[in-house]
Every structure is written in C-alpha cells, then in structure tokens.
Chains A and B, each alone.
Chain A
C-alpha cells in the first residue's frame, strides 16, 4: 500500500513539473531543457531554509517560487533574441551551469554530499508525516497547478501565448509585447516547478544534485511530449505512463541489471517513435512545428 502511495506521490510531483513545462513548451512553443534546474532550485531553497532557519513550510514554498521565478526570467530573456534549436541549446547551457553550482558550491549546498534530514512540513500547526498526508498535500498543489494553468490558457493572456507559438511575427504585428509574455511564461513555469522541488525535498527528506541533472530535464520534457504538448491533460497522462512504466518493470521478472537499461531503451525508443509517428503525443495539440513547415 505504502508503495502505491509512493508512486502516486511521485506521479503528483511529475504532474506539477510537466504541466508547468507544458505552459512554456506546449502552450507558448518555447522548448526548454532547463526545467530540472528550476525544480532543483525549489528543492534546495526549501531544504536550506528548513534546515538552517527552521522556517515554516509555507514561507519556504513562497521563497522557492520567488527565487525560481527570478531565475526563470533570466532563462526567458534569451528567448527574445535566440529561437528554435538555438534556444534549446541556451536552456541546456543554463541547466548545466545550474547543476554545477549546486554540485560545486559545497559550503552552501552541501555539494555532492547532499542535504540529509529535511524535516517534515507543518501547515497551520498540522504536521504532514504520513504518506497519505503527503499525497493529500501533493494532490492539493497538483490540482492548484492544473487549475491555474487552465485559467491562464483560457484567458486572453493564454490566447496571446498561443498566437506567439503559432506565428510570432503576427503576434508582434498585432501589437502584443511578445518579449514580456515570453519572460512572464518562464517566470510562472519556473515558479511552479519550484513547488514540485519543495514537495520532493520534504518528501524524500534528502536531496543531492544528481536528482536535478540534464537527463532529468530531458525526462520532464519527454513527459510533455509523449503525453501531448499544448493540452491540459496530456502531461498528466505522460507523467502517469513514464513514472509507472519503470516501476512496472520491477514486477515483470527481468533481472534488475537489465531492467534499468530496458527502461532507458523503451524511453528513448518512445521518444523517437512519437516524433516519427505521433509528434503530438497522446493528447497534444501542438507538434513543435514552425509556421512554414505546417503550410
């Protein structure tokens, strides 16, 4: 039972991550490989605050969102000058630098030794200590994230995002401040990823930089792509599939040494296969095609 709860909690964390990346990549069309960096910053801010100042959970979460959001703006700014695959590489660069800072700034982040003993969160005097409690907590934030994204996408703001994705020049010509929209989308997405990081840090109670690598970013992106970019529920489906799949492999009787590689092979193969035959993913409405290519 506890194991099933654990998987549900992990799914919840990845739903927050992928839904927020979907806002950036799926709704606005800015493919980013920096999401694990925001996730990590959130986790580290919460962990450091909880460990050093013993500050309340809700304060930690706000600080994590703010700091990660600022970093999001920093990553969003290059999108004004650089586009498409060049932009992907720029986010990649940001991800590598962020990981190195977490890993090498030993006196502050604990470096590769990580931060053990992160306390369980207390909200309004209520300590979340059981797994069920965590599931409820993650579920609440998950629902909140989905609701906010839903509202954003349906609003005039969301329609501008879609316009930027479909035809940036047109959006610009229509008098929209494309630059501000792009940066804002990164701020929102990064802030939400930070929430997932906070959940992760408090739940696992130990974090180290290896959870926030380039490969993790690619994994989150794969959830969005396989689930379906640009749709509300696509990333949710993606998160369920990609989190449950490796866990199922624990039960099919493969030797464990083979299982991890098989998992990677399936996951790499899925990415290729979806790009070839179904670039929209399971439920998506956006297939990462530029304007000219669709004509």
Chain B
C-alpha cells in the first residue's frame, strides 16, 4: 500500500512538456460499459493514427483513461484525478449525461475543456463555458421521431421509457411535441433499468391499441421489450431511439427488430461514399475485425477534433487556449458529420430517420 501511495505521488509530479495529454472519462464498467468500450476502441485507433503521423502539430499524444462506471460520484473522482494528478488540459467524456453534468463544474472551475461525444441531456446546454458536446441535445431526437409519428397520421402513441436521465428526458420531449401536434398518449410508463419483465405493461398497452409504441431506452432493454411484444402476438409499430442502432440489438431482438423505426441523431453513415468515412471504417475494421457504429464515430470525432484544434496552437496547450480555439474554429468535418459549435458549446446536426429492413439498419424510405 505504501508503495502505491509513493507511486501515486510520483505520478502526480511527472509529465513531459512536449506531450499532449488527453484525459478520457468513459463508463468502462457498469450499466453503460458497452458504450464506454466502443468509445475506447475508437480513441485507441485515433491515437495510433495520429501518433504514427507525428502527433498533433508535432506533439505526441498520450491518452489517460478513467472509468466513471456511469456513476456521478465516481466520475467526479475520475476527472479530479485527471486534472490534478495528470494535469490534462482537456477531458473527453462522459458518454452518459449524468456524469457529464456532475463533472462539468469541476472542469469549469479548473478551466479544463470537457468535450462529451454523446451526452444528450438538454441540461448540458447551460452546464458551463468549458463544456462542449458534439451530440445534439435530446430535443432534436425526440422532436424528430414525434414529428415522424405525426406525419404518418398516428393519433395515439403509447410511451415506455427507461427510468434514467436519457429515457425520461427524451420521453418528455416526445410527449410534448406529439401532443402539441394533436396526438394523444394513452399510456406513458417508466421501467427500471435492471428489470426484464415488461409483460404487464405490454398487456396494459394492448387494451388501448395505440397506433405505435415509442420505446425510449438503450438497445438491450428495447430488444427485450420488442421481443416480448411480438411474443404476445402484437404487431404494433415500434418507434425507438438512436441507441437502437447497435449490432447487438439485432442479435438480441432477433426477428422482432424488423420494422423498428428510430432517428439517428449523428451524421454517421458507414455506407457513405465519403473518403474520410470510408478510411475510418476500413482502419477500424482491420484493427478490430468488426464494424464501427455511431458511438465509435462520435468518440473518434471528439479526439480528432481536439487534435485538429491543438495542432493549430502555437502556444502551450492549456484549457484556456483550447477553449479559445474551439470557439473560433468555424466548422470541422468529422466522420459523423460537420461540427460547428453554437455559443453554448452545442452542435446542430441533421437527424436521419432509419429503420431495420431485412435485418440491416437502413434509411427510412421517403425521409431523405
């Protein structure tokens, strides 16, 4: 134990001047671990590409990962450790909004840039001047799918959402937009993240026979819900969230995945003919043997964006310098679309509507 404490103190003291240190706070274990692992794969890839080319503007890059377990307190410990022990000027993270929100005041007070690749909570818009994200707020996604429901003349849509910050806030956006457009919500209920028995909700929903069911959650629970829905013999149209687009969803939901409609709130399209996207997909595939998804693309963009602005800095890379560079960079084209920050550090990206057709994620016909 003593040895480790000494190692800890030594670790706090050291650091190379020419090196660019980037902290990453991702949920590497716990409920959202699968997202954190995807993000890490993408960042590892990005680091190896950048360092092979001589670093960001001549500075070699070192990434220090910390696990947040998708838990705010652990996330706060992690970012404090990165800031005070590793002296990073920039932290990429977190995937989930609760941790980003908890970490935001610490980044703000220490003038360290916090860049989230995927946090979607509307509260992040006003979380601080040093807080950026390259994912549009839930508002965009919730509105897009509600508008689709209205455009298809659905009058009654029931909502089943995960009882966490993502599911709850996006369900509320959907409800507001859908009701404002003249639709009604017969049943709206939340489910616990660790539950697996959704049958009584589905039986209850069946009695109202809604035009569609909006499931606002992550891919694993959405998969179980659609399966149970189909097992009950119901053919209700299912609307999902961006989180649905995951190969694991197709595996878990099986045939029940077919026909689920969801909005994709990132501009990432692996089938795009864009050279930058193709190169990313190719390198990712050759390194890991599987296809990258939107989490990977967002994390890759987050890293490359930082590298892009850091390489244009002549002075030392500090939090202040990075913030100034981000505010004045104009637009940057990543693999998941064009990034251009507004005055709150938010981005606006076009929302694409997609569906599962013949077991493949495809663009929804007529939504181009």
| Contact present between A and B (CB < 8 A) | yes
Q: Which residues of B contact A139 (CB under 8 A)?
A: none
- Closest residue of chain B to A10, judged by CB? B77
The answer to whether B66 touches A250 (Cβ under 8 A) is yes
CB distance from B86 to the nearest CB of A (A): 9
Within 8 Å of chain B (Cβ to Cβ): is A78?
Answer: no
CB < 8 Å A-B pair total: 103
- Closest residue of chain B to A1, judged by CB? B84
Within 8 Å of chain B (Cβ to Cβ): is A114?
Answer: yes
Q: Given A10-B77, A248-B4 in contact, is the A206-B72 Cβ separation under 8 Å?
A: yes
Q: Given A248-B1, A257-B67, A260-B69 in contact, is the A3-B28 Cβ separation under 8 Å?
A: no
Q: How far is the CA of A205 from the CA of B128 in the complex (A)?
A: 13
Within 8 Å of chain A (Cβ to Cβ): is B313?
Answer: no
CB distance from B205 to the nearest CB of A (A): 19
Within 8 Å of chain B (Cβ to Cβ): is A106?
Answer: yes
Q: Which residues of A contact B28 (CB under 8 A)?
A: 255-257, 260
CB distance from A71 to the nearest CB of B (A): 22
Q: Which residues of B contact A256 (CB under 8 A)?
A: 28-29, 65-67
Q: Which residues of A contact B190 (CB under 8 A)?
A: 104
Within 8 Å of chain A (Cβ to Cβ): is B246?
Answer: no
Contact of B76 among A204, A252, A261 (CB under 8 A): A204
The answer to whether A210 touches B4 (Cβ under 8 A) is no
Within 8 Å of chain A (Cβ to Cβ): is B30?
Answer: yes
Within 8 Å of chain A (Cβ to Cβ): is B37?
Answer: yes
Within 8 Å of chain B (Cβ to Cβ): is A290?
Answer: no
Q: How far is the CA of A256 from the CA of B63 in the complex (A)?
A: 13
CB distance from A276 to the nearest CB of B (A): 22
The answer to whether B164 touches A260 (Cβ under 8 A) is no
What count of chain B residues pass the 8 Å CB interface test?
43
What count of chain A residues pass the 8 Å CB interface test?
34
CB distance from A135 to the nearest CB of B (A): 13
Within 8 Å of chain B (Cβ to Cβ): is A133?
Answer: no
The answer to whether B101 touches A206 (Cβ under 8 A) is yes
The answer to whether B8 touches A248 (Cβ under 8 A) is yes
The answer to whether B84 touches A116 (Cβ under 8 A) is no
Q: Which residues of A contact B81 (CB under 8 A)?
A: 3, 6, 247, 250
| In the complex, chain B residues 14-54 whose Cβ is within 8 Å of any chain A Cβ | 28-30, 33, 36-37
Q: How far is the CA of A103 from the CA of B123 in the complex (A)?
A: 18
Contact of A211 among B65, B72, B77, B165 (CB under 8 A): B72
| In the complex, chain A residues 176-215 whose Cβ is within 8 Å of any chain B Cβ | 200, 204-208, 210-211
The answer to whether A252 touches B72 (Cβ under 8 A) is no
CB distance from B238 to the nearest CB of A (A): 22
Q: Which residues of B contact A208 (CB under 8 A)?
A: 72, 98, 165
The answer to whether B29 touches A206 (Cβ under 8 A) is no
Q: Is the interface of A mostly helix, strand, loop or mixed?
A: helix
The answer to whether B76 touches A257 (Cβ under 8 A) is no
Q: Given A208-B72, A210-B72, A248-B5 in contact, is the A114-B101 Cβ separation under 8 Å?
A: yes
Q: How far is the CA of A116 from the CA of B104 in the complex (A)?
A: 10
Per-position binary interface string of chain B over residues 55-82, scored 1 when its CB falls under 8 Å from any chain A CB and 0 otherwise? 0000000000111010111001110110
- Closest residue of chain A to B78, judged by CB? A250
The answer to whether B163 touches A103 (Cβ under 8 A) is yes
The answer to whether B8 touches A251 (Cβ under 8 A) is yes
CB distance from B352 to the nearest CB of A (A): 26
The answer to whether A3 touches B98 (Cβ under 8 A) is no
Within 8 Å of chain B (Cβ to Cβ): is A111?
Answer: yes
Q: How far is the CA of A259 from the CA of B77 in the complex (A)?
A: 15
The answer to whether A116 touches B123 (Cβ under 8 A) is yes
Within 8 Å of chain A (Cβ to Cβ): is B169?
Answer: yes
Within 8 Å of chain A (Cβ to Cβ): is B338?
Answer: no
Task: List 26 A-B residue pairs with CB atoms under 8 Å apart, sorted by A's residue number.
Answer: A1-B12, A3-B12, A6-B80, A6-B81, A10-B77, A113-B98, A113-B123, A114-B101, A116-B102, A204-B73, A204-B102, A206-B105, A208-B165, A211-B71, A211-B73, A248-B5, A248-B8, A250-B78, A251-B4, A252-B4, A256-B65, A256-B67, A257-B33, A257-B36, A257-B37, A260-B28
Seed contacts A3-B81, A113-B121, A114-B72; 15 additional CB < 8 Å A-B pairs = A3-B83, A6-B76, A6-B77, A104-B163, A106-B168, A111-B168, A112-B163, A116-B127, A204-B102, A251-B8, A252-B7, A256-B67, A257-B37, A260-B30, A261-B29
B interface vs A, CB < 8 Å?
1, 4-5, 7-8, 11-12, 28-30, 33, 36-37, 65-67, 69, 71-73, 76-78, 80-81, 83-85, 98, 101-102, 105, 110, 121, 123, 127, 163-165, 167-169, 190
Q: Ordered nearest first, which 3 A-B pairs have the shortest CB separation?
A: A2-B84, A260-B29, A256-B67
A interface vs B, CB < 8 Å?
1-4, 6-7, 10, 103-104, 106, 111-114, 116, 200, 204-208, 210-211, 247-248, 250-252, 255-257, 259-261
